[in-house]
Amino acid sequence: MIEVRNGEGKSPAAIEAELTEAGLYFLVLDVPPVENGAHWHDFSSIFYVTKGYVRLTVVESGEVLDVQPGCRVSVPERALHAENSATGYSILLGVTRDPATFEEDVNLSPADLPG
């Protein structure tokens, strides 16, 4: 289940330390304005929003999560979700898979979600 919680005012250095100590690959991303329909990823992720705003929809439950700077988001592998951000957003991201192995598009189709 996707989880959003308060990031407890952690500094970027503290966030990087948390994510790398958890064994995650650390990235800094600036995501342009986006409207992604339902999709999933073949890796788990934890990210902290540092700038901007994103609305996540958990497809299974229909729950809508409004994510702003200071929020910590945990997205399990294969969690079907959608994203919408009119402004774009910046994140500090930890992922369970080496980003060097990512395909160009990491957003996988619901039709390809293993049963």
The pLDDT of 45-68, averaged and rounded, is 96
Task: Answer yes or no: is pLDDT of 66 > 90.
Answer: yes
Residues 68-105 have pLDDT tens digits of 999 999 999 999 999 999 999 999 999 999 999 998 89
In the structure encoding, which two tokens stand for residue 47, read together? 């990210």
Q: Please, what are the domains in the chain?
A: 3-99 (2.60.120.10)
- CA distances (Å), origin 28, targets 12, 50, 59, 64, 65: 10, 10, 26, 24, 22
pTM, to two decimals: 0.94
- Given a cut of 90, whether residue 45 has pLDDT beyond it is yes
